[in-house]
Amino acid sequence: MSTLLEVNNLKKHFPIKGSSLFEKQDRAVKAVDGVSFHVNKGETLGLVGESGCGKSTTGRAILKLLEPTSGQIRFKGEDITGYHGEKLRKLRRDMQLIFQDPYASLNPRKTIEQIITEPMKIFGMPKVERRQKLDRLLEVVGLSSYHKQRYPHEFSGGQRQRVGIARSLALDPELVICDEPVSALDVSIQAQVINLMEELQEEFQLTYLFIAHDLSVVHHISDRVAVMYLGQIVEIGDVEELYANPKHPYTQALLSAIPEADPKISRERITIKGDLPSPSNPPEGCKFHTRCPYAEEICRKVNPVLKQVSPEGQQAACHFVKEVALEY
């Protein structure tokens, strides 16, 4: 398996302008603060974390919809961090995005046909080919060709998301970044869209970076999972291994919060206290120490780095990996 996407120490800080004229020091919201991971060709990497932890910002920075503050993004072995203008536009063919909100991500003034064929038009595909491709895309995402002339507001959420998926596939991308593609949908529709995405992955050999906060969905679709907390990855590894044997206290707490379908099973829930600290003023040391039940002096001073915790390659960023793992 070859590496398709490699992200090294990616940072995205949003500057906050000083509120007063004399406040010289410009602060910043550190939405993404040193994230590194790779995605292999054909696999799905799930990126999970609570709201505001920088998942979506990571996805958008990779697509260069947001300019990364620092770090490196390598796509197919090429450093694309500095790409802009025409070079960046060409890159868009290979990297696409599926949006979270199917209501907001489709232009209300365009028909389904116009929405799906626009990427092809931009990259100069002849009209006849566009028509054929449109029919094929509608078919694979499960829409009928009589939907072509309709406007987005005439569709349900699930159908709109199918349109969004068809649009993202119009250019035959290799990598699709899915930004919470099902979180705005009803649970029954979620399953359909997820299954559709899995079918499409097989058919078009797609690689997914699947951003979500729903751990069940991520478990279902991912090959590997990365857990983010406050702009950093705290644990990453193979999905089965990580779900069965989480090493980081934050991952453990997250996993224990997944609702169980059987009410008779009683389980101990790990509750984390307090709120997510502000990313404009993150805590010193380990970012999780303010809410971590195991936090010690060292956690308040030194930010732990990701280190291998299992022979299969699972990595976690915690000073007390061994002790924490035993208690789970």
Partner 1 sequence: MAAIPQTSPTPPEVPEQKTTATPKSSSLWLDAFSRLIRSKTSFIGLLIILLLLVVAAMAPVVATHDPTDQQLLDRYLAPSGDHWLGTDELGRDIYSRIVYGTRISIQIGLIAVGISAVIGILLGGIAGYFGRWIDQIIMRVIDILMAFPSILLAIALVAVLGASLTNAMIAIGIVGVPQFARIVRSTVLSVKETEYIEAARAIGAKNNRILFQHVLPNCLAPIIVQATLSIGTAILDAAGLSFLGLGAQPPSPEWGAMLSDGRAALQTAPWVVAFPGLAIFLVVLGFNLFGDGLRDALDPRLKQ
By the criterion CB under 8 A, which residues form the site for partner 1?
Answer: 63, 65, 89-90, 92-93, 96-97, 99, 101, 104-109, 118-119, 122-123, 142, 147, 149-151, 153-156, 158-159, 162, 164, 167, 170-171, 187-192, 194-196, 216-217, 219-221, 243, 255, 258-261
Residues whose CB is less than 8 angstroms from the CB of residue 177 and which lie 6 or more positions away in sequence, other chains included: 59, 62, 63, 95, 96, 97, 98, 208, 209, 211
Strands 232-238 and 307-308: unpaired
Reading across the β-sheet that carries 3-16, which strands appear in turn? 27-40, 3-16, 70-75, 78-79
Q: How many C-beta atoms surround the C-beta of residue 154 within 10 A? A: 12
Q: Which is nearer to partner 1, 36 or 214 (CB)?
A: 214
Compute the least distance from the CB of residue 166 to partner 1, in Å.
12
Indicate the residue among 4 and 177 with the shorter CB distance to partner 1.
177
Query: Tell me, what DSSP letter sits at residue 272?
Result: P
C-alpha distances in Å from residue 76, one per residue of 63, 91, 104, 144, 255: 14, 11, 31, 35, 33
User: In the block, which residue shows the tokens 């699930």?
Assistant: 158
Cα dist. 310→160, 235, 324 in Å? 42, 12, 14
Residue 176 token pair: 């699709």
Cβ proximity to partner 1: between 167 and 289 the closer is 167
Nearest distance from C-beta of residue 317 to partner 1, angstroms: 23
Selection from 25, 24, 19, 55 nearest residue 37 by Cα: 55
Nearest approach, Cβ of residue 120 and partner 1 (Å): 9
Q: Are 165 and 200 in contact (CB under 8 A)?
A: yes
Q: How far is the CB of 297 from partner 1 (least distance, A)?
A: 35
Q: Strand 207-212 vs strand 44-48: parallel, antiparallel, or unpaired?
A: parallel
Q: Smallest distance from the beta carbon of 260 to partner 1, in angstroms?
A: 6
CB of 222 to partner 1, least distance (A): 11
- Work out how close the CB of 314 gets to partner 1 at its nearest, in angstroms, rounded to a whole number: 17
